[in-house]
A and B are shown apart, each in its own frame.
Chain A
Amino acid sequence: MKFGVVVFPGSNCDHDAFYAISNILKKPVEFIWHQSQDLANCDAIILPGGFAHGDYLRTGAIARFSPVMKAVEKFAKSGGMVLGICNGFQILLEAGLLPGAMMRNSGLRYICRHVLIRVEQTDTPFTNAALQGQVLKIPIAHNDGNYNADEATLADLEKNRQILFRYTTPDGANDAVGNPNGSLHNIAGICNRERNVAGLMPHPERAVESALDSADGLVIFKSLVESLVTAAKATA
Chain B
Amino acid sequence: MATATTEIKVTPEIAAEHGLTAEEYARVKQILGREPNITELGIFSVMWSEHCSYKSSKVHLKRLPTRGKLVVQGPGENAGVVDIGDGLVAAFKIESHNHPSYVEPFQGATTGVGGILRDIFTMGARPVAVLDSLRFGPIIAGKGVSEQEAAKNRRILDGVIRGIANYGNCFGVPTVGGEVGFEPCYSQNPLVNALALGIAKKEDLFFAKARGTGNPVIYVGAKTGRDGIHGASLLASAEFTEESKQKRPNVQVGDPFMEKLLLEACLEAMQTGAVVAIQDMGAAGLTCSTTEMASRGGTGIEIDLAKVPQRESGMTPYEIMLSESQERMLLVAEKGREREVLDVFKKWGLDAVVVGEVTDGGLLRVKDRGKLAAEIPAHPLAEEGPVYRRPIAQPPLRKETAADWFSFSAEGTDLALNFAALLGSPAIASKRWITEQYDTSVRTNTLAGPGASDAAVIRIKDPETGVVKRALALATDGNSRWCQLNPRVGAMHAVAEAARNVAASGARPMAATNCLNFGSPEKAEVMWQFSEVIDGLTVACNELGTPITGGNVSFYNETLGKSIYPTPVIGVLGILEDASRVLKIAFREEGDAIVLLDGAAWALGAQQAAPLLGTEREFSSSEYSKTIAGIVAGEPPAIDLAAEKRLQECLVSLAANGAVRSAHDVSDGGIAVTLAESCFASLVGAQHAAPQLGADVKLEETSPAEYALFGESGARALVSVAATSLARVLETARQYEVAAYQIGQVIRGDAFRIEYKGRVVIESSVSKLHDTWAHSLERGLKAR
Contacts and interface: CB of A to CB of B under 8 A. Distances in A.
Interface string A103-121: 0000001111110100000
B459 interface: yes
A197 to B, nearest CB: 24
Interface residues of A, number: 36
B466 A22 contact: yes
Nearest to A211: B447
Contacts of B404: none
B437 A111 contact: yes
B689 interface: yes
A141 B169 CA distance: 9
B172 interface: yes
A50 B166 CA distance: 12
A50 B170 CA distance: 7
Given A16-B443, A19-B461, A170 B687 contact: yes
A122 to B, nearest CB: 21
Nearest to B261: A9
A19 B466 CA distance: 7
Contacts of A49: 442
Given A54-B170, A112-B437, A12 B442 contact: yes
B466 to A, nearest CB: 4
B482 interface: no
A28 interface: no
Given A109-B437, A114-B687, A16 B447 contact: no
A53 interface: yes
Interface class of chain A by DSSP: mixed
A112 B437 CA distance: 6
Interface in B439-474: 439-444, 446-447, 459, 461, 466-467
B580 interface: yes
Contacts of A12: 170-172, 260, 442
B688 interface: yes
Contact of A10 (B257, B437, B687): B257
Contacts of A234: none
Given A10-B257, A110-B439, A211 B580 contact: yes
A3 interface: no
A211 B437 CA distance: 22
B348 interface: yes
A41 interface: no
B441 A10 contact: no
Contacts of A114: 687-688
A170 B688 contact: yes
A203 B169 CA distance: 14
A18 B446 CA distance: 17
A125 interface: no
Q: Interface size for chain B: under 10, 10 to 19, 20 to 34, or 35 or more residues? A: 20 to 34
Given A22-B466, A137-B688, A212-B444, A50 B436 contact: no
A15 interface: yes
Contacts of A111: 436-437
A49 B444 CA distance: 13
Nearest to B467: A23
A97 to B, nearest CB: 24
Contact of A113 (B258, B436, B443, B579): B436
A219 B240 CA distance: 56
A206 B440 contact: no
A19 B348 CA distance: 23
A206 B257 contact: no
Given A53-B257, A113-B436, A170-B688, A13 B165 contact: no
B530 to A, nearest CB: 37
B578 to A, nearest CB: 12
A125 to B, nearest CB: 23
Nearest to A214: B688
Interface in B679-705: 687-689
B436 A15 contact: no
B438 interface: yes
Name which of A50, A112, A113 has the most chain B CB atoms within 10 A of its CB: A112
A112 B436 contact: yes
A99 interface: no
B777 to A, nearest CB: 14
Interface in B234-292: 255-258, 260-261
Contacts of A15: 443
A205 interface: yes
B702 to A, nearest CB: 43
A209 B687 CA distance: 18
Interface string B162-175: 00011001111000
B349 interface: yes
A139 interface: yes
Nearest to B440: A112
A55 B437 CA distance: 18
B452 to A, nearest CB: 9
Contacts of B440: 112
Contacts of A165: none
A10 B348 CA distance: 10
A51 interface: yes
Contacts of B436: 111-113
A212 B441 contact: yes
Contacts of B172: 12-13, 50
26 contacts: A10-B170, A10-B261, A13-B442, A16-B444, A19-B461, A22-B466, A50-B172, A51-B170, A51-B256, A51-B260, A53-B257, A54-B170, A54-B256, A55-B170, A110-B166, A110-B439, A111-B437, A112-B436, A112-B440, A113-B436, A116-B688, A141-B441, A141-B442, A206-B441, A206-B444, A211-B579
Complex A-B, nearest 5 residue pairs according to Cβ-Cβ distance, in ascending order: A12-B172, A54-B257, A23-B466, A51-B170, A141-B439
Interface of B: 165-166, 169-172, 255-258, 260-261, 348-349, 436-444, 446-447, 459, 461, 466-467, 579-580, 687-689
